[in-house]
Amino acid sequence: MDKRRWAEKDVETIGSAGQAAHRQKSKDFYRLVYVCRMSFLIFSILDAISFSILCFEVSKMKKLHELSASFESLLNTMHPAKVVFFGYLLYIMFGWLLLTIPFTQKENEVKAIDNLFTVTSAVSTTGLATISIADHYNLAGQIIILVLIQLGGIGYMTFSSFVVLSRNATLSEARTKVGLTVFSLPESFKLERFIKSVINFTIIVEVLGAIALYVIFLKAGDKNPAWSAIFHSISAFCTAGFSLYNNSFESYAGNFWLNFVIAILSYIGAIGFIVWLDIWRRILGEIKQITFTSKIILWMTFWLNIIGTILLFIGEPSIHALSPEDRLIAAFFQTMSAQTTVGFNTINISLLSKASLLLVIVLMIIGSSPSGTGGGMKCTTFSAMIGIMISIIQGKEKMNLLGKEIPLKRIWIAIATFGFYFFILMIGAYLLEMTENNSFESNFFEAASALGTVGLSAGITSALTNLGKLIIIFLMFCGRLGPLTFGIILFSAPSSDTKDQDNDLVI
């Protein structure tokens, strides 16, 4: 009888455990459904508001037809850079309003300036935060932040343009101008097909990334592996660097597979949609070889990461105590994080030596690739500047890069981008030196991280004064627009004709 009673008790225990596991799975499933519904709702609301205010499409309502037509005419005369400026500003203002509502926050009250900082960081896909995302925002607040990251990552009006293309297969003149401002494209690319590819590619990559991360977080014993996987997959692909862990991925420093998956997602996003569409067209046989821009992007990404990894592996004292394997992984991950501008970290940035901080700053300034999810000056701009210097040293009147003569228009853009970038960076660093009581290298690192939309910090973000926060907000917003675009908004943008040849380097 005793054996039978114990056996029955074991069955009941096993049954209870099974029911608990089933309830947890059901909980994760309904959480996932809730996340999807909320994300779609916020996507629709944000694009609908931007759509209505800026009137990119003629309204089907008869009473608003004339008003919409007049707005459409006004937008056609407005520089698209200004439209993008106001579009991102609308995203930030609406997101700020949502995060200010108490139902998005936990018991800890969040100040208005911190909500604005978080929203700007999300839209600009930076990842700097003055407060803990996990400790101060509930699931609804985290979903809002994630949707803003997604909108900022794929570019202004990209989602709604995708919907328009799904219905009409053509874009209005105003949308086309904005699209060509958001995405710097080679002349052989068609905007309509590119936008469709961006959305489809984003969905596929983020879903696969979430599945891989779910397995990793589940094995690591994460309390909410499904939500954590979704959040970090989107954050990594959009190179946002936002994390639900207060120490980023320092707890996963020795987890090879997490480092690998996050790096792959970040590279795919940062290398840019141009390259992946190029490679896909090459696979389909539509083109004989990838474009000149794609070659430059791949070469620069490869060599910057190789050089950065070697220098950090050899020269960073804080990782010398690690095993050679873990040390290599840490050096690679931090180089990848700075160069792709994803902003995750597996080592404490505040412990880095001054030499390593300088190396990371250089990588953050150079940044990722055009028409990708990353920030920075862009590696193509950096390569163009190298080409200019080499051509001058060799006494050449025309600039050549990898055997290709670069059009004069692109050279001017590269020089202007380089100049505006450092101009804004110097202003930001100077203002931080005026307002913050930190070391110069910490302030300069913070400014470079904000303008490059990286999100790495030497540990001073949470201690910033209100003026310091506003300075970083300004830098993050400029970084999302692009310093040259910001300059165009302030001044003017000359236009010039282009030739139909594959020497077009996208900056």
Residue span of the structural domain in which 162 resides? 11-490
Cα 394 to Cα 389, 391, 397, 414, distances in angstroms: 9, 5, 9, 20
Cα separation, 237 vs 81, in Å, equals: 25
Q: What DSSP line would sit under 316-345, residue for residue?
A: -GGGTTS-HHHHHHHHHHHHHHHHHT----
pTM for the model stands at 0.82
Closest CA to 158 of 87, 99, 97: 87
Q: Is residue 5 part of a domain?
A: no
Question: Does residue 341 belong to any structural domain of this protein?
Answer: yes
- The residues near 387 (Cβ < 8 Å, ≥ 6 apart) are 399, 400, 401, 406
Residue 112 lies in a domain: yes
- 495 occurs within a structural domain: no
Instruction: For residue 377, give the DSSP letter.
Output: S
CB 476 within 8 A of CB 376: no
**Neighbour tally for 108: CB within 10 Å:** 10
Residue 501 lies in a domain: no
Q: How far is CA 371 from CA 116, 249, 289, 389, in A?
A: 26, 27, 19, 25
Q: Would residue 506 count as lying in a domain?
A: no
Distance CA 142, CA 187 (A): 39
168/175 Cα distance (integer angstroms): 13
Whether 500 is in a domain gets the answer no
Instruction: Tell me whether residue 229 is in a domain.
Output: yes
pLDDT tens, residue order, the chain (507 aa): 444 444 444 444 444 544 555 555 555 555 555 555 555 555 555 555 554 544 444 344 444 455 555 555 655 666 777 777 888 888 899 999 999 998 899 877 899 999 999 999 999 999 999 999 999 999 999 999 999 999 888 876 565 555 545 555 566 666 666 666 666 666 666 776 777 778 888 999 999 999 999 999 999 999 999 999 999 999 999 999 999 999 999 999 999 999 999 999 999 999 988 888 888 888 888 888 888 888 999 999 999 999 999 999 999 999 999 999 999 999 999 999 999 999 999 999 999 999 999 999 999 999 998 878 888 999 989 999 998 888 888 888 788 787 788 888 888 888 888 999 999 999 999 999 999 999 999 999 999 999 999 999 999 999 999 999 999 999 999 998 886 676 665 655 444 444 555 666 665
Residue partners of 151: CB distance under 8 A and separation at least 6: 43, 46, 91, 123, 159
Of the candidates 441, 438, 424, the one whose C-alpha atom is nearest the C-alpha of residue 357 is 441
Go through the chain and tell me how many residues it has.
507
The answer to whether 265 and 209 have CB atoms below 8 angstroms apart is yes
Using alpha carbons only, how large is the chain's radius of gyration in Å? 24
What is the Cα–Cα distance from 305 to 203, expressed in whole angstroms?
Answer: 26
Q: How many domains is the chain partitioned into structurally?
A: 1
Give the list of residues 6+ apart from residue 445 with CB closer than 8 angstroms, or none.
Answer: 357, 360, 361, 456, 457, 458
Evaluate whether 392 touches 368 at the Cβ level (below 8 Å): no
CB burial class (10 A; 0-12, 13-18, 19+) of residue 90? middle
